[in-house]
Chain A
Amino acid sequence: MLINVLKQIKEARVYSKPLIARNLNVSEEVLEDMVAQLVRMGYIKEDLGSPTCESKCAGCSISSCNTIPIKMLSLTPKGEEKVKLS
């Protein structure tokens, strides 16, 4: 199952939870959980396109300038290797 998630993320044009969950025949919740696991295990990198600041947002004069949470997923070299070998 997990290898198929990696393949979908490598090949899909967008990360559409309903679509990928349908393709894998799992619920969206399980897909979400599997992606979170793969992130924790270092196969997928997830980011929100946000500045990764050392300082906290509270009190920052430019904190409100970044409020577009666009989630992006990509395979890490470990994930790429796994897909390549499968």
Chain B
Amino acid sequence: MYTIALVGNPNSGKTTLFNVLTGSNQHVGNWPGVTVEKKEGSFKHKGAIYNVVDLPGTYSLGAYSEDELIARDFVIKGSPDVVINVVDASNIDRNLYLTTQLLEMGANVVVALNMMDEATNKKIEVDIQELSKDLGVPVIPTVAAKKSGIEDLIEGTINAITNRSNNVEFSYGPSIDENVNRIADVLKGMGFNYPVKWLALKALEGDKEILSLIDKKEGIGDILESTKSDGIDYELDIVDKRYSFINSIIKKGVKKPTEEIVTLTDKIDKILTSRLLGLPIFGLIMYLVFQLTFLVGSDFLGGYVETFIGFIGELIASGLESISAPDWVISFLIEGAIGGVGAVLVFVPLIMVLYFFLAILEDTGYMSRAAYIMDGIMRAVGLHGKTFISMIVGFGCNVPGIMATRTLENKKDRMIAILINPFMSCGARLPIYLVFIAAFFPDHGGLALFIIYAVGIAFALLFGKIFSKTLFKGESSHFIMELPPYRMPKAPVVLRDMWEKVWDFVKRAGTVIFAVVTILWILSVFPLGVEPYSQDSLLGKIGEFIAPLFAPAGFGSWQASVSLFAGIAAKEAVVAILGMVYAGVSEGTELVTAIQAAFTPLSAVSFLVMTLLYTPCAAVIATVKKETNSYKWAIFMAVYPFILAWVMAVLVFQVGSLLGF
């Protein structure tokens, strides 16, 4: 019985070929000592039985992964009669690295040039004879999925068993060749199961598995030691030679359609990422996104959720009254739960539309460009360009935004990125902005929202600059960003992305916000006997205690104060509490009317500045503690934005008042 091993890159059609060759004669087990699946099968041809082993899909035969080790160990120690190297013809350039390594190992290789149909579709022409000549092994075109070329492959493979043809002699340059031969000469006769030249090559490449096998052998250690001082980077140079070999083969035997020298992406990028126009265009795009958000989310969709929540509220209230439920139950459910959580949920349409447009920008590839444009600005103010990636993530939620700073290797860069991230307006702050915009700036919603986000970025840059000049000095490392080609956004991707974010928002409203609302509702009805949601309740007393602090900023009411206080638990709670504490008022337009009565346009702006900049939520502070492993920085994170926000809010209100607003 003969053994045939199947080796190939993942997705090269290797397993399909295995199934075609073996049909139902196959069984699955595990490779010894590991959990990697081992598939074996057999087929009969002209009376002889051929055992086929499907090796794990791998891109190379180094020692970087379990799959690579299993594949290469079997090719060498398993002594297969033939190794069928399944190569994806439509992606031949990438697949030939593995082929090159198999040839180096001296394996008896037959190349199954698979997926020829896809290669043809991509207008890739492969000169089979030329390829076979250059590789020094048979190359047989197949389409395993259509069972095409299988007979030829079987014949070619059986023929290779008796007529071995791997005769390619690799040269890695005089110095490397010389050392390969020196080591191979020493290894000869030591009884290894491996080809000695391959062992020598892998040892020079620094392959840990091979080194552990041979470097204790007499004479080997000295040769390897002597190579360390000859100025050659063996690992890099050997891999480099493989690519040169592949490149020369591709140039001779593979024809691809001529790619445009200047692609459409290049043309678009010339404008969208230009030094002069890039930033204004980015600003304009974001402005349009916010405008469209208000147009679609507020004008077209705005009323439905509000009406629905109102309807549910009335339904529950009448149901509870009909069963003579206690007053406190009605109060909790209607004013607390529905009034509070509902106040947050009415903004779902707007949030949904905003995330829809942002998802489109992401899916087209524009967000990479935005990060690239901002990268230049970040560097100009002394920040690491990667900081903006964590800032973009922070627009969704500051917790992953801060966690995304882990990609910054330098502690200085990372600390700055962490400390400025909360200035990015997370999704939880959106309802605050939206309710105040609806109350005071309904005709300029998009512009107002754009300004709020832009002010947040401006403060992040300003404080990044300040921190890089004071607390964290030092140089930032260089990196480059990939700009993927532009593509048409795909509806399923965009909708899924939008849905995930909106669902997160709804889930938080139903869990975290509900919990916060419950606690604050209890505080608002105790001590028993006081008017619920009044200044005499515990909540009112807390608000009253804090309120003088905010009086210079123009919103010194106990309701506003207590909502800001609740916002430290979770930012959505600000609107939820406003919805609850304006007793009798709940969500949507009623809350908007109540806010119009409680604030002036100037104090509303001041309140927005406060909520944009002040202490991030408890989850963010806890994340800062975890990421910096320091209570000091967690406290700093809680305190410095509060002081900054208070100063800015007071400035806005006092200067605005002086100017007569």
Contact = CB atoms under 8 A, between A and B. Distances in A.
Interface in A21-63: 22, 25-27, 29-30, 32-34, 36-37, 40-41, 43, 45, 47-53, 61-63
Contacts of A14: 273, 372, 480-483
Q: Give the most central of B236, B265, B367: most A CB within 10 Å.
A: B236
Contacts of A48: 407
B393 A72 contact: no
Given A14-B372, A33-B97, A68-B393, A3 B399 contact: no
A30 B94 contact: yes
B479 A74 contact: yes
Given A1-B247, A33-B94, A13 B407 contact: no
B239 A70 contact: no
Contacts of B392: 68, 70
A49 B389 contact: yes
Interface residues of A, number: 50
Interface string B469-505: 0000000011111111100000000000100110110
Q: Give the most central of A33, A34, A36, A70: most B CB within 10 Å.
A: A70
B371 interface: yes
Given A48-B407, A70-B367, A72-B407, 20 more contacts: A14-B372, A22-B261, A25-B247, A40-B62, A43-B236, A49-B386, A49-B390, A49-B393, A49-B407, A50-B407, A61-B504, A62-B397, A64-B497, A67-B396, A68-B393, A70-B482, A71-B484, A72-B389, A72-B480, A82-B236
Contact of A67 (B247, B362, B507): B362
B393 A13 contact: no
A7 interface: no
A70 to B, nearest CB: 5
B482 A47 contact: no
A9 B482 CA distance: 11
17 contacts: A1-B240, A2-B236, A2-B240, A18-B265, A25-B247, A47-B407, A48-B407, A53-B403, A62-B396, A64-B504, A65-B399, A68-B371, A68-B389, A68-B393, A71-B484, A72-B386, A74-B479
B20 to A, nearest CB: 26
Nearest to A19: B266
Contacts, number: 153
Interface in A67-82: 67-68, 70-75, 82
Contacts of B250: 27, 30
Given A15-B483, A68-B392, A61 B507 contact: yes
Interface of B: 59-60, 62, 64, 91, 93-94, 97, 233, 235-236, 239-240, 243-244, 246-247, 250, 256, 259, 261, 263, 265-266, 273, 362, 367-368, 371-372, 386, 389-390, 392-393, 396-397, 399-401, 403-404, 406-407, 409, 427, 477-485, 497, 500-501, 503-504, 507-508
Nearest to B501: A64
A65 B393 contact: yes
Nearest to A12: B480
A41 B490 CA distance: 36
B93 to A, nearest CB: 4
B178 to A, nearest CB: 21
A66 B407 contact: no
Contacts of B247: 1, 25-26, 30
Contacts of A33: 59, 93-94, 97, 243
A73 B404 contact: no
A51 B504 contact: no
A66 B400 contact: yes
Q: Give the most central of B386, B396, B483: most A CB within 10 Å.
A: B483
A41 B233 CA distance: 12
Given A17-B482, A62-B504, A71-B482, A51 B239 contact: no
Contacts of A36: 59
Contact of A29 (B64, B93, B362, B386): B93
A10 B389 contact: no
Contacts of B479: 72-74
A41 B367 contact: no
